[in-house]
Every structure is written in structure tokens, then in C-alpha cells.
Amino acid sequence: MKILFYDTKKYDKDSFEKVLPQYPEIEMDFLETDLSVHTARLAKGYDAVCAFVSSDVGEQVIRVLEAKGVKLVLMRCAGYNNVDLDAAHECGITVLRVPGYSPEAVAEHAMALALAVNRRIHKGYIKVRENNFSLVGLTGVNFYKKTAGIVGTGKIGAAMCRICHGFGMRVIAYDLYPNKELDFVEYVDFDTLLAQSDLISLHCPLTEDNYHLINTETIQKMKDEVILVNTSRGGLIKTEDLIAGIRSKKFFAVGLDVYEEETNNVFENREDDILENSTTARLLSFPNVIVTSHQGFLTEEALASISETTLQNAMDFKNGEIKEINLVSR
Ligand code: NAI
């Protein structure tokens, strides 16, 4: 089983090489470049490609992969909104993913963003480094006894519910399929969640139905001074509407690990570039916004789990023993 890895960084290579000895039948090659129409042809001679959150696994790429003999796409992530599943199905290409490598890693990052941006840690850190010990502009709010509204209570959302519960918050949630294990959570409809939450954290996958779930209309339904956190997918929020909402002082704070125009930025050092879009710069210009670069998953535990499950997925495919939960189907 030969696998070509796209969009790899040192930490990916290190964690996959650590688990490789358990899988003697697998050979791996790593590319720094991401999967795209231009790079898909490099997969000639490989049984599988391994792609990530910003990879282009659209129809054209799938067709090139099919032509080069690739039978399997291994997503080393949970989300698969960047994969054209219809095209994969038509081309007989199986798509496997890592559905739950470490939900706590992402949920803890969501809470880290919420806390940091609420307490203006990003500003306090810079100020003190400049010998500015003034507290002006750093006032936050308590989370204790406030209401957390969690959108999507799958693995990550459930972990976020538990964290918020631990903070002494009232936890309400909206999900198409309520999670019965969360007996401390009150399920409400989406409008009620918007109207009652002091902290809203998004944990549902991006689908055709919820693209731009957060827009001018839904922002208007939120409480004033709400804190919004998105660690799920950028397309859940219509950024222009969010910026208008921030300008109108609707939000106390906003923490984003994902945002709409992240694709060219994610995991790249672009400090010498003139960026082609201004959305990121505009978001960063606000004192009550923190943006991180899709790093919610980035813990030692999560990387180890991603590597193990991805290579096990490859072996399961080879042996015809695919686990239903890891299979991404139309
Ligand atoms: P999951 O599949 O366990 O849970 C998703 C939940 O969302 C399910 O309970 C589902 O019923 C619910 N849902 C689906 N559509 C919905 C909608 N329109 N409104 C409300 N709820 C809806 O997924 P998991 O593992 O919790 O991951 C959630 C998302 O987090 C992923 O799809 C991915 O986009 C994102 N993610 C981000 C990472 C990061 O590094 N920032 C890392 C891993 C995942």
C-alpha cells in the first residue's frame, strides 16, 4: 500500500513516521505541496493519497486521481466539505476519514479562544511586553452562571458542553439529532439559542444546508454583547456580515480558528506576502477579535491518533474491512 501525503509539515511527518513501524505493509512519501488539479498527477503509481482540510478534492482532482490509478483518499481530518463525494463515488474512489481523533483538543481550543478574547489576553500580553501595565481596555465578563449555546453536539460539541458545564455555565444546544448522553444540556431551537446565549460556539459540520448559518439575519437575533467562537468551518459564517456585526458593536468578542478565506493561509508562513484579500486583515484590526490558523486539532494526542487511524484506515481498505464510521459516503 503506497500512500502519497499532500500538504505535509514537519509535525505531520514526525507523527506518521512514529506509528509507521506498526504497519510494515505501508510505504509513505510526503509532499509539502497541497493536492490540487496541478499536483494530483503526482499520485501516479500510488494506491492512495492522504489529504487535509485545505486540499482540493473536487471533481477535477478526483478525475485525475482516477486516471492515475488511485483507489483511496485518506482524509487525515474529521471534516470532508472539500471532497466531491459524488465524483468519488462515480470514479470508484473510496474516501475514509478520522472522525474523532481527539474531540477534546478542538473543544479545549474553542474554550481557549473564548477565554483569551473575552479577557483580552492577546492585548494584555502585548501591552506588558511594552512595559504598559495599564488595565484600560482589558475588562472581560465572567462565564460563571452565563449561558453557553453550543451548535452541534457531536463529539467536539459534546466535549465543549462538558467544559462549559464545568465552568458553571447553563448549557443550551441546538442539533438536528440531540445527544442523549448530555443530560445537563437543554436542547432548544436555533432561534432560542441565538436569543439566549452569552457565548455561542459552532461545532456542526459545514453542509449545503448550513452554509452561512451566521449571517446578518441570525446575528440580529443574538443577544447584544455576545461572544462568538468558530472552530468548525469558515463557511458557517458569512464574514462580511460578521464584520458589519462587529462594527455595530453587537459582539463582545469573536474567536475564530477558521474563517472563509483561510485556504491560502492555513499552515503557511506568509509574513513577507502582500495578502490578496482584506478580510483577514479587517478581522485582525478589531481589538475584540482573535484569529488562529486552524490549529484546534494541534495537540500531541490528536496528531498521534490521526496518524494511527489514517494508517489503520489504509490497511482496513486493503483488507476489505472498512469501518463504517470512518467511511465518507454520499
Ligand atoms: P460530529 O459528526 O461528531 O458532530 C457533528 C454534529 O453536528 C452532529 O451531532 C450533527 O447532528 C450536528 N449537525 C449537523 N448539521 C447541523 C446543523 N445544521 N445544525 C446543528 N447541528 C448540526 O463532528 P465533530 O467530530 O464533533 O466535528 C465537528 C466539526 O468540527 C467538523 O465537521 C469539522 O468541521 C470541525 N473540526 C475542526 C477542527 C479544527 O482544527 N478547528 C478539527 C476537527 C474538526
246 and 127, same structural domain?
A: yes
Q: Please write the tens of the pLDDT for every residue from 23-74.
A: 999 999 999 999 999 999 999 999 999 999 889 999 999 999 999 999 999 9
Q: Reply yes or no on whether 122 is catalytic.
A: no
Domain span holding position 211: 103-291
Q: Is pLDDT of 303 > 80?
A: yes
92 and 141, same structural domain?
A: no
Answer yes or no: is the C-beta of 201 below 6 A from any ligand 1 atom: no
Q: Reply yes or no on whether 212 is catalytic.
A: no
C-alpha cell at 162: 462538558
133 and 65, same structural domain?
A: no
How many Cα atoms within 13 Å fall on the side-chain side of residue 69? 10
The CATH number assigned to the domain holding 278 equals 3.40.50.720
Active-site option among 233, 261, 276, 308: 233
258 and 145, same structural domain?
A: yes
175 and 65, same structural domain?
A: no
234 and 306, same structural domain?
A: no
Q: Please write the tens of the pLDDT for every residue from 182-195.
A: 999 999 999 999 99
Whether 152 contacts 202, CB under 8 Å: yes
Q: Please write the tens of the pLDDT for every residue from 213-240.
A: 999 999 999 999 999 999 999 999 999 9
Measure 197 CA to ligand 1 centroid, in angstroms.
19
274 and 306, same structural domain?
A: no
Q: What is the mean pLDDT of residues 124-147?
A: 97
3-state secondary structure 218-234: HHHCCCCCEEEEECCCH
Total number of domains constituting the chain:
2
57 and 169, same structural domain?
A: no
Answer yes or no: is the C-beta of 157 below 6 A from any ligand 1 atom: yes
91 and 122, same structural domain?
A: no
39 and 128, same structural domain?
A: no
Looking at residue 29, its pLDDT comes to 98
138 and 286, same structural domain?
A: yes
Q: Pick the atom of ligand 1 nearest to 205's CA.
A: 32
Which residues does 308 contact at the CB level (< 8 Å), separation at least 6? Answer: 19, 22
Answer yes or no: is the C-beta of 258 below 6 A from any ligand 1 atom: yes
180 class by beta-carbon count within 10 Å (0-12 exposed, 13-18 middle, 19+ buried):
exposed
Which among 104, 156, 236, 297 is the best mutation to test ligand 1's pocket, defined by most ligand atoms within 8 Å of the CB? 156
Looking at residue 317, its pLDDT comes to 97
* More confidently predicted of 57 and 278: 57
Measure 151 CA to ligand 1 centroid, in angstroms.
9
190 and 175, same structural domain?
A: yes
What residue owns the CA closest to ligand 1's atom 14? 204
Q: Reply yes or no on whether 233 is catalytic.
A: yes
Answer yes or no: is the C-beta of 76 below 6 A from any ligand 1 atom: no
Which residues does 314 contact at the CB level (< 8 Å), separation at least 6? Answer: 1, 3, 23, 26, 48, 72, 74, 96
Looking at residue 268, its pLDDT comes to 80
